[in-house]
Amino acid sequence: MLEPPKAMQEGMETEIGSLASKMDANQAGMEAMQVQMDANMNTNQEILARMKPMMGKILKEMKEEILTMMEAMIMDSNEKFEVLQGTLVSLIDANQEEMKSTVNTLQEKMDAWRASMRDDQKERMVCQQATEANPEKMESRVEHWEVPKDEAAGKTSVAKKKRHRGRNLAEVIRSSRDEDNFKLALVVQTDLKMEKGKAAAQCSHAAVMAYEQALHHQPAVLRLWQACGQAKVVLKVETERELLELAHKARNQGLITSLVCDAGCTQVAPGSKTVLGIGPGPVNLVDTVSGHLKLF
Protein backbone atom coordinates (compact mmCIF):
# COMPACT_ATOMS: atom_id res chain seq x y z
CA MET A 1 0.00 0.00 0.00
CA LEU A 2 1.25 3.42 -0.96
CA GLU A 3 1.66 6.04 1.71
CA PRO A 4 0.52 9.63 1.07
CA PRO A 5 3.21 12.06 0.37
CA LYS A 6 4.74 13.61 3.42
CA ALA A 7 3.83 17.13 2.44
CA MET A 8 0.14 16.20 2.06
CA GLN A 9 0.14 14.50 5.42
CA GLU A 10 1.56 17.54 7.08
CA GLY A 11 -1.10 19.78 5.44
CA MET A 12 -3.91 17.59 6.64
CA GLU A 13 -2.53 17.55 10.16
CA THR A 14 -2.34 21.33 10.07
CA GLU A 15 -5.95 21.59 8.91
CA ILE A 16 -7.10 19.20 11.60
CA GLY A 17 -5.24 21.20 14.24
CA SER A 18 -6.80 24.42 13.01
CA LEU A 19 -10.31 22.92 13.14
CA ALA A 20 -9.67 21.62 16.62
CA SER A 21 -8.53 25.08 17.75
CA LYS A 22 -11.65 26.64 16.29
CA MET A 23 -13.86 24.08 17.98
CA ASP A 24 -12.16 24.77 21.27
CA ALA A 25 -12.65 28.50 20.79
CA ASN A 26 -16.34 27.99 19.95
CA GLN A 27 -16.75 25.79 22.96
CA ALA A 28 -15.23 28.50 25.17
CA GLY A 29 -17.51 31.13 23.59
CA MET A 30 -20.57 29.00 24.19
CA GLU A 31 -19.54 28.45 27.79
CA ALA A 32 -19.09 32.21 28.22
CA MET A 33 -22.50 32.85 26.70
CA GLN A 34 -24.02 30.30 29.03
CA VAL A 35 -22.41 32.04 31.98
CA GLN A 36 -23.73 35.40 30.71
CA MET A 37 -27.24 33.99 30.23
CA ASP A 38 -27.20 32.55 33.72
CA ALA A 39 -26.09 35.92 35.06
CA ASN A 40 -28.83 37.73 33.12
CA MET A 41 -31.45 35.28 34.36
CA ASN A 42 -30.37 35.81 37.89
CA THR A 43 -30.49 39.55 37.38
CA ASN A 44 -34.02 39.33 35.90
CA GLN A 45 -35.17 37.17 38.77
CA GLU A 46 -33.80 39.69 41.21
CA ILE A 47 -35.56 42.51 39.35
CA LEU A 48 -38.83 40.54 39.33
CA ALA A 49 -38.41 39.80 43.00
CA ARG A 50 -37.94 43.51 43.74
CA MET A 51 -40.83 44.55 41.43
CA LYS A 52 -43.33 42.05 42.83
CA PRO A 53 -43.99 43.98 46.06
CA MET A 54 -44.07 47.26 44.18
CA MET A 55 -46.59 45.91 41.65
CA GLY A 56 -48.71 44.53 44.48
CA LYS A 57 -48.67 47.92 46.19
CA ILE A 58 -49.53 49.74 42.96
CA LEU A 59 -52.41 47.35 42.21
CA LYS A 60 -53.72 47.72 45.74
CA GLU A 61 -53.62 51.52 45.50
CA MET A 62 -55.34 51.44 42.09
CA LYS A 63 -58.00 49.10 43.46
CA GLU A 64 -58.65 51.38 46.42
CA GLU A 65 -58.80 54.44 44.15
CA ILE A 66 -61.19 52.73 41.75
CA LEU A 67 -63.41 51.64 44.65
CA THR A 68 -63.42 55.18 46.04
CA MET A 69 -64.38 56.62 42.66
CA MET A 70 -67.15 54.06 42.23
CA GLU A 71 -68.52 54.80 45.70
CA ALA A 72 -68.50 58.54 44.95
CA MET A 73 -70.29 57.96 41.65
CA ILE A 74 -72.89 55.76 43.32
CA MET A 75 -73.47 58.33 46.07
CA ASP A 76 -73.76 61.12 43.50
CA SER A 77 -76.22 59.04 41.47
CA ASN A 78 -78.26 58.32 44.60
CA GLU A 79 -78.39 62.02 45.47
CA LYS A 80 -79.45 62.93 41.94
CA PHE A 81 -82.05 60.19 41.97
CA GLU A 82 -83.43 61.42 45.28
CA VAL A 83 -83.61 65.00 43.93
CA LEU A 84 -85.33 63.77 40.78
CA GLN A 85 -87.71 61.63 42.79
CA GLY A 86 -88.58 64.60 45.01
CA THR A 87 -89.16 66.79 41.95
CA LEU A 88 -91.41 64.19 40.36
CA VAL A 89 -93.39 63.76 43.56
CA SER A 90 -93.81 67.54 43.82
CA LEU A 91 -94.96 67.75 40.20
CA ILE A 92 -97.40 64.88 40.67
CA ASP A 93 -98.81 66.48 43.81
CA ALA A 94 -99.10 69.86 42.07
CA ASN A 95 -100.79 68.28 39.04
CA GLN A 96 -103.18 66.38 41.26
CA GLU A 97 -104.13 69.58 43.07
CA GLU A 98 -104.51 71.40 39.75
CA MET A 99 -106.63 68.59 38.35
CA LYS A 100 -108.83 68.59 41.44
CA SER A 101 -109.23 72.36 41.17
CA THR A 102 -110.02 72.08 37.45
CA VAL A 103 -112.55 69.32 38.05
CA ASN A 104 -114.20 71.35 40.81
CA THR A 105 -114.31 74.43 38.58
CA LEU A 106 -115.80 72.46 35.71
CA GLN A 107 -118.34 70.91 38.04
CA GLU A 108 -119.34 74.35 39.30
CA LYS A 109 -119.65 75.63 35.73
CA MET A 110 -121.76 72.63 34.77
CA ASP A 111 -124.01 73.14 37.77
CA ALA A 112 -124.33 76.84 36.93
CA TRP A 113 -125.07 76.00 33.29
CA ARG A 114 -127.76 73.51 34.25
CA ALA A 115 -129.31 76.04 36.61
CA SER A 116 -129.12 78.69 33.87
CA MET A 117 -130.81 76.36 31.40
CA ARG A 118 -133.58 75.61 33.87
CA ASP A 119 -134.04 79.34 34.53
CA ASP A 120 -133.97 79.99 30.81
CA GLN A 121 -136.75 77.49 30.15
CA LYS A 122 -138.84 79.06 32.87
CA GLU A 123 -138.13 82.56 31.54
CA ARG A 124 -139.06 81.57 28.00
CA MET A 125 -142.37 80.15 29.15
CA VAL A 126 -143.13 83.27 31.18
CA CYS A 127 -142.11 85.59 28.32
CA GLN A 128 -144.20 83.69 25.78
CA GLN A 129 -147.24 83.78 28.00
CA ALA A 130 -146.76 87.48 28.71
CA THR A 131 -146.20 88.26 25.02
CA GLU A 132 -149.34 86.44 23.94
CA ALA A 133 -151.32 88.26 26.64
CA ASN A 134 -149.98 91.80 26.01
CA PRO A 135 -147.06 92.22 23.54
CA GLU A 136 -146.77 96.02 24.09
CA LYS A 137 -145.80 95.62 27.76
CA MET A 138 -142.77 93.52 26.85
CA GLU A 139 -140.70 96.63 26.13
CA SER A 140 -140.35 97.42 29.81
CA ARG A 141 -139.18 93.87 30.60
CA VAL A 142 -136.49 93.63 27.91
CA GLU A 143 -132.86 94.52 28.55
CA HIS A 144 -131.46 97.17 26.17
CA TRP A 145 -128.00 97.34 24.75
CA GLU A 146 -126.48 100.69 23.89
CA VAL A 147 -124.11 100.87 20.91
CA PRO A 148 -121.13 103.18 21.63
CA LYS A 149 -121.59 106.61 19.96
CA ASP A 150 -120.08 110.08 19.98
CA GLU A 151 -121.25 112.29 22.83
CA ALA A 152 -122.69 114.95 20.53
CA ALA A 153 -124.82 112.50 18.57
CA GLY A 154 -125.76 110.36 21.59
CA LYS A 155 -127.59 113.03 23.60
CA THR A 156 -130.48 113.46 21.12
CA SER A 157 -131.32 109.86 20.22
CA VAL A 158 -130.79 107.62 23.25
CA ALA A 159 -134.47 107.31 24.21
CA LYS A 160 -135.55 106.75 20.61
CA LYS A 161 -132.94 103.99 20.05
CA LYS A 162 -133.82 102.31 23.34
CA ARG A 163 -137.48 102.14 22.33
CA HIS A 164 -136.51 100.83 18.90
CA ARG A 165 -134.26 98.12 20.32
CA GLY A 166 -136.82 97.22 22.93
CA ARG A 167 -139.34 96.44 20.23
CA ASN A 168 -136.80 94.26 18.40
CA LEU A 169 -136.04 92.27 21.53
CA ALA A 170 -139.74 91.84 22.25
CA GLU A 171 -140.03 90.37 18.76
CA VAL A 172 -137.10 88.07 19.58
CA ILE A 173 -138.88 86.66 22.60
CA ARG A 174 -142.22 86.39 20.80
CA SER A 175 -140.56 84.40 18.00
CA SER A 176 -138.57 82.12 20.31
CA ARG A 177 -140.97 79.20 20.00
CA ASP A 178 -138.92 77.75 17.11
CA GLU A 179 -135.76 75.86 17.91
CA ASP A 180 -133.66 77.23 15.01
CA ASN A 181 -134.54 80.93 14.99
CA PHE A 182 -131.41 82.51 16.48
CA LYS A 183 -128.00 82.83 14.90
CA LEU A 184 -124.73 84.76 14.82
CA ALA A 185 -123.49 86.06 11.45
CA LEU A 186 -119.74 86.52 10.94
CA VAL A 187 -118.81 88.69 7.96
CA VAL A 188 -115.23 88.49 6.60
CA GLN A 189 -113.59 91.29 4.58
CA THR A 190 -112.05 89.54 1.56
CA ASP A 191 -110.00 92.50 0.26
CA LEU A 192 -107.44 91.74 2.98
CA LYS A 193 -106.76 88.36 1.30
CA MET A 194 -106.35 86.55 4.62
CA GLU A 195 -105.45 82.88 4.59
CA LYS A 196 -108.11 80.44 5.79
CA GLY A 197 -106.45 79.92 9.17
CA LYS A 198 -106.12 83.67 9.75
CA ALA A 199 -109.76 84.24 8.77
CA ALA A 200 -110.84 81.44 11.12
CA ALA A 201 -108.91 83.01 13.99
CA GLN A 202 -110.49 86.41 13.33
CA CYS A 203 -113.97 84.84 13.23
CA SER A 204 -113.19 83.25 16.61
CA HIS A 205 -112.31 86.68 18.00
CA ALA A 206 -115.59 88.09 16.73
CA ALA A 207 -117.59 85.17 18.17
CA VAL A 208 -116.00 85.58 21.61
CA MET A 209 -116.64 89.34 21.54
CA ALA A 210 -120.27 88.75 20.56
CA TYR A 211 -120.73 86.24 23.39
CA GLU A 212 -119.24 88.62 25.98
CA GLN A 213 -121.39 91.55 24.84
CA ALA A 214 -124.53 89.41 24.81
CA LEU A 215 -123.68 88.06 28.26
CA HIS A 216 -123.55 91.60 29.69
CA HIS A 217 -126.19 93.38 27.63
CA GLN A 218 -128.67 90.78 26.31
CA PRO A 219 -128.43 87.69 28.54
CA ALA A 220 -131.96 86.58 27.69
CA VAL A 221 -131.15 86.56 23.96
CA LEU A 222 -127.86 84.80 24.67
CA ARG A 223 -129.62 81.99 26.52
CA LEU A 224 -132.16 81.61 23.72
CA TRP A 225 -129.32 81.43 21.17
CA GLN A 226 -127.54 78.80 23.29
CA ALA A 227 -130.74 76.79 23.55
CA CYS A 228 -130.92 76.80 19.73
CA GLY A 229 -127.47 75.28 19.35
CA GLN A 230 -125.48 78.53 18.93
CA ALA A 231 -125.98 78.62 15.16
CA LYS A 232 -123.37 80.57 13.18
CA VAL A 233 -122.93 81.51 9.52
CA VAL A 234 -119.79 82.94 7.89
CA LEU A 235 -120.35 85.43 5.07
CA LYS A 236 -118.15 87.82 3.09
CA VAL A 237 -117.89 91.36 1.77
CA GLU A 238 -115.14 92.84 -0.35
CA THR A 239 -114.40 96.21 1.26
CA GLU A 240 -114.08 97.81 4.67
CA ARG A 241 -116.75 100.34 3.70
CA GLU A 242 -119.30 97.55 3.19
CA LEU A 243 -118.31 96.11 6.56
CA LEU A 244 -118.88 99.43 8.34
CA GLU A 245 -122.22 99.98 6.57
CA LEU A 246 -123.40 96.57 7.75
CA ALA A 247 -122.30 97.39 11.31
CA HIS A 248 -124.28 100.65 11.23
CA LYS A 249 -127.35 98.92 9.85
CA ALA A 250 -127.15 96.15 12.46
CA ARG A 251 -126.89 98.66 15.31
CA ASN A 252 -129.94 100.49 14.02
CA GLN A 253 -131.79 97.18 14.19
CA GLY A 254 -130.80 96.78 17.84
CA LEU A 255 -128.41 93.92 17.17
CA ILE A 256 -125.10 93.40 18.88
CA THR A 257 -122.10 94.12 16.61
CA SER A 258 -118.55 92.89 17.19
CA LEU A 259 -115.98 94.50 14.88
CA VAL A 260 -112.51 92.92 15.03
CA CYS A 261 -109.53 95.25 14.44
CA ASP A 262 -106.37 93.20 13.95
CA ALA A 263 -103.14 94.06 15.80
CA GLY A 264 -101.16 93.58 12.59
CA CYS A 265 -98.76 90.90 13.85
CA THR A 266 -99.32 88.65 10.81
CA GLN A 267 -100.62 88.99 7.23
CA VAL A 268 -102.56 92.28 7.57
CA ALA A 269 -101.73 95.85 8.55
CA PRO A 270 -102.34 97.06 12.13
CA GLY A 271 -105.88 98.32 12.67
CA SER A 272 -107.33 96.36 9.73
CA LYS A 273 -111.02 95.60 10.23
CA THR A 274 -111.13 91.91 9.48
CA VAL A 275 -114.46 90.46 10.66
CA LEU A 276 -117.83 91.83 11.78
CA GLY A 277 -120.05 89.83 14.12
CA ILE A 278 -123.80 90.48 13.83
CA GLY A 279 -125.83 89.05 16.68
CA PRO A 280 -126.58 86.69 18.20
CA GLY A 281 -130.14 87.55 17.36
CA PRO A 282 -133.27 86.26 15.64
CA VAL A 283 -132.74 84.86 12.17
CA ASN A 284 -135.27 87.17 10.53
CA LEU A 285 -133.71 90.25 12.12
CA VAL A 286 -130.11 89.23 11.33
CA ASP A 287 -131.13 88.42 7.76
CA THR A 288 -132.46 91.96 7.24
CA VAL A 289 -128.83 93.07 7.61
CA SER A 290 -126.80 90.18 6.13
CA GLY A 291 -129.27 87.99 4.25
CA HIS A 292 -128.09 89.23 0.83
CA LEU A 293 -124.44 88.27 1.40
CA LYS A 294 -122.72 85.19 -0.02
CA LEU A 295 -121.07 82.48 2.06
CA PHE A 296 -117.36 82.82 2.72
What pLDDT score does 161 carry? 39
Please, what is the Cα angle at 250 between 248 and 253, to 5 degrees?
115
Residues 6+ apart with CB under 8 A from 64: none
C-alpha to C-alpha distance for 269 and 267, rounded to whole angstroms: 7
Mean pLDDT of 162-185: 56
pLDDT digits (tens, 9 = 90+) for 187-220: 999 999 999 999 999 999 999 999 999 999 999 9
Q: What percent of the chain has pLDDT over 70?
A: 76
209 three-class SS: helix
- What's the pLDDT score for residue 153? 40
Q: Which residues contact 148 (CB under 8 A, 6 or more apart)?
A: none
Please give the radius of gyration of the chain, using alpha carbons only, rounded to the nearest integer. Answer: 53
Alpha helices by DSSP H, listed for the chain, are 6-133, 151-174, 196-217, 219-227, 240-252, 283-290
pLDDT per position as a tens digit, 216-225: 999 999 999 9
- pLDDT the model gives residue 140: 33
3-state secondary structure of 93: helix
pLDDT number for residue 81:
81
Task: Please determine, looking at this structure, whether the domain spanning 181-295 carries the CATH number 3.30.70.330.
Answer: no
Task: Report the chain's mean pLDDT, rounded to a whole number.
Answer: 77
157 pLDDT higher than 50: no
Percent of the chain with pLDDT over 90: 33
Burial 78-91, CB ≥16 within 10 A → b, else e: eeeeeeeeeeeeee
In this structure, of 1-10, 67-76, 81-90, 183-192, the range with the lowest mean pLDDT score is 1-10
Strand, coil or helix: 191: helix
